[in-house]
Amino acid sequence: MLLILSLLSATLPFLCISSAFSLMDSKKEFPPSPPYTPPPPHPTSTPPATNIGLISGVIAAGVVILIILLIGWILMYRRRRFITKQKELSENTAATTNDVATTSDIIARTEYQYLLSLSEVEESTNYFDESLVIGIGGFGKVYRGELRDGRKVAVKRGSRTSHQGIQEFRAEIETLFKFRHGNLVSLIGYCDQNQELILVYEFVEKGTLRSHLYGAGLQSLSWNERLNVCIGAAKGLHYLHTAYPTAVIHRDVKSVNILLDGNLNAKVGDFGISRTGPSVHETHVSTGVKGTFGYLDPEYFMREQLTEKSDVYSFGVVLIEILCARPVIDPSLPSGAINLKDWAINYIHKGQWDQIIDPHLIIGDINPDSLKRFMETAVRCVADGGADRPSMRDVLWNLECCLQFQEAALHGSAAEDNSDSIVELATQYATADFSLTRVFSGLVISDEGPERGRGLGRGRDAAVQCSAAEDNSDIIVELAPLNATISSSASANIQDSPDFM
């Protein structure tokens, strides 16, 4: 072992020296390294893949955040809207209860208007027997019934859970307990019990005007009957517009809402969306659009500005419907005939009115002057602008003229009524400044004397005002200043005055 170590120690220095020389010799054999050249730079137009991924991630995250924020805002908005609706509903329910409580005192003092118990209403309709349903509306179903005292009634049943039902319930009570007129459907009473909202009306035997025009197979109305129906409905609407300083606007005048009693007298009904009109110092009421398509005033629809002239427009469509006896909107017809108003007005302007008249009417039995005045009145009612439409007072005047023309032709006599009884009644209204010259029957505007009544117009020699007779027969009184000479031409001028057309 010692020998081996000695040998290693003796040979190690030699090996190290020889290795060193060998390395030196080997270095001399390699060529010198070339100078360092940096790599060419990357093109600026192509960003690194890592940058593209980063940008895409940021955009995606932003979109996700925006979507989350949008969903959160929508949920918050819907929650607030729901809370607001619930609050309004509770307020309306409370207001309805308060209104009903206030109205009940009035009802209790009136023989024909009172608060009905739910049990009596259920008995009157055989517990809401479906076989007694005579109509369905936005408020609910309408049943035919009979009260314990034998009166036949129409029972309209709504639901307190319906927001629309509560609003209509209030509107009907507020309107019909305030207004009483022979050409308005009478509200007998109501029931507000066990979550029920029930309105009880007088039963109008003949049903809707529409059912007597088309679709129900009922006997067709004569021209005289149609004129009387128009006059009755016009009286009811005129009363709504003028009975109080602030008008009440029906907003849903249509043939379904004009009912006929056993004598074919017209009664305007369904005041569920009626509302108070503009005050004396206002030109309109800004409100959301409500009504029935086809009867809806286009100006009100576009501007959401409601006036009495909106009812006039709807009534004008009813006049055309009475003349033509067809639906106001009929999609089954060619495009030019779908809308009744547009179709009829087009033929009237072309003088081809004989192409649109109800075939059940015998044209030879209609007085031409009566028909002409009727069509002129209808055309004016459906003018696009409210300012171009007549008032219901003027509409009523013209319809009365239509009836007088027709009756004069049938009886071969003058249209005016000079009976001594009417003259005597009219004379009671004469004032110190005016003297009575002529009397016409048929037209009512107010129950006040001429000294407080509204003027109908002025002719060349006389002024015209109106009043109602004590026996409820409606009259027109033509008045002139004392000592004035009234000629027959003056009378003609009064009747044809532009104020009446």
Q: Give the integer Cα–Cα distance in Å for 282 and 17.
A: 123
Chain segment 268-291, per-residue pLDDT in tens: 998 888 888 887 778 788 888 889
The two three-digit tokens of residue 183, written as one number: 């050409």
Is 461 among the residues known to form the active site? no
pLDDT at 324: 97
Three-state SS sequence of 437-448: EEEEECCCCCCC
Of 192, 252, 270, 417, which is the active-site residue? Answer: 252
User: At residue 468, does pLDDT exceed 80?
Assistant: no
The DSSP H or E segment spanning 477 is strand 474-481
Please state, in angstroms and rounded to a whole number, the distance separating the CA atoms of residues 116 and 288.
33
Highest mean pLDDT (candidates 113-117, 432-436, 494-498): 113-117
Tens of pLDDT, residues 381-399? 999 999 999 999 999 999 9
Tokens of 90: 């509770």
Under 8 Å between Cβ of 113 and 189: yes
Q: Give the count of alpha carbons within 13 A of 476, CB side only.
A: 25
Does the pLDDT of residue 25 top 70, yes or no? no
pTM of the predicted model as reported, rounded to 2 decimal places = 0.63
Q: Is the pLDDT of residue 251 over 60?
A: yes
How far is residue 36's CA from residue 187's CA, in Å, rounded to a whole number?
108
> 341 a known binding residue?
no
- pLDDT score for 440: 39
> Helix, strand, or coil here: 473?
coil
Q: State both tokens at 95.
A: 């207001």
| Domains of the chain, each with CATH number or no CATH | 79-202 (3.30.200.20), 210-411 (1.10.510.10), 420-495 (no CATH)
Cα 489 to Cα 501: distance, rounded to the nearest angstrom: 18
pLDDT tens across 303-358, in order?
Answer: 989 999 999 999 999 999 999 999 999 999 999 999 999 999 999 999 999 999 99
Helix (H) or strand (E) holding 305, with range, is: strand 305-306
* Average pLDDT of the residues in 154-162: 76
Q: Read off the DSSP letter of residue 251.
A: S
Look over the chain and give the mean of its residue pLDDT values, rounded to a whole number.
74
What the block records as the tokens of 84 is 């607001």
